Amino acid sequence: MSFLTSTALRRTFSTTSRVLNATTTASTTAAVAANVNSLGVVGAGQMGLGIALVAAKVAQIPVTLVDTSQSSLDRSTAFMDKLLAKDVAKQKLSTSAADAIRARITTSTTLDAISSADFIIEAVPEIPALKADIFSRLATISAPHAVLATNTSSISITRIAAAALGAQSRVVSTHFMNPVPVMRGVEIIRGLQTSAGTLATTLQFMTKLGKVPSESADTPGFLANRILMPYINEAVVCLETGVGGREDIDAIMKNGTGVPMGPLQLADFIGLDTCLAIMKVLYEDTGDSKYRPSVLLGRYVDAGWLGKKTGRGFYEYDQ
């Protein structure tokens, strides 16, 4: 290839790139964020309740918390009452403010209860088939303008959106950090189908919730868990192979790197089943052996020792 031909090609590529970048920027800028005045949350576990509480407290909008299990809803509302009472006792909230937060959150065992919500967040376990079923149903019953968000920590957003036939462009990921009321960060991931308007509305709503959004590409583990989970998994390998005991592993990371919680204790708080599920997705989707889950982590999950939520993980906890 001659110098002149090479130069011409570079100029053509540069011009094309500028045009494409300008088009992408223009379409993103032109997207108008819609106002979110109501929220539906699917899944009344720790994450779902945390999201509902933040929306009711910070954004001060009505929230409908949905779960197929009435007992799960009862446990979550009882835990919410406990948290609010604690904040009142510590004078972080007035009694009237706590009552107002409670009044903004209603519960239901049917998805139809959130059919008119402006924004819906799914926060169920990391089971692809379960999420696909939920989004398939949400595509049918949700309002045409509603954003359909998933709190998945590792599953492809493009894959989840494909299940929402007719509403693929309204699907996005809002991956909140645990515990939701405390951690300000939230990952925003768009699938191939996600529209610019959906993204704009999501970013604006996360800010309304008092969160600091970070955008990630739709790749296994996204940003947070692509970094965090291998760190936790390696700590479990160190325990498994006798490199150090649980207290020594956590102590060196706390006292040596300044993190507030060691990796094994952090895993207990996240849930060992969740950690294992994410590591499996990373390993299976990338095929990279560096993401192979620790054998010991799998054994703990098999034993039902899932961490703080079950009273035992790498440490023991009062129930």
Q: Which of 122, 154, 156, 187 is catalytic?
A: 187
Q: Which of 151, 175, 216, 233 is catalytic?
A: 175
Active site residue 37: no
Take residue 63 and report the two structure tokens written for it.
């929230």
139 contact partners, CB below 8 Å, separation of at least 6: 148, 163, 164, 165, 166, 167
Active site residue 187: yes
Active site residue 284: no
68 contact partners, CB below 8 Å, separation of at least 6: 109
Q: Which of 72, 153, 154, 173 is catalytic?
A: 153
Q: Which of 142, 154, 173, 225 is catalytic?
A: 225
Active site residue 142: no
Which are the catalytic amino acids?
A: 153, 175, 187, 225
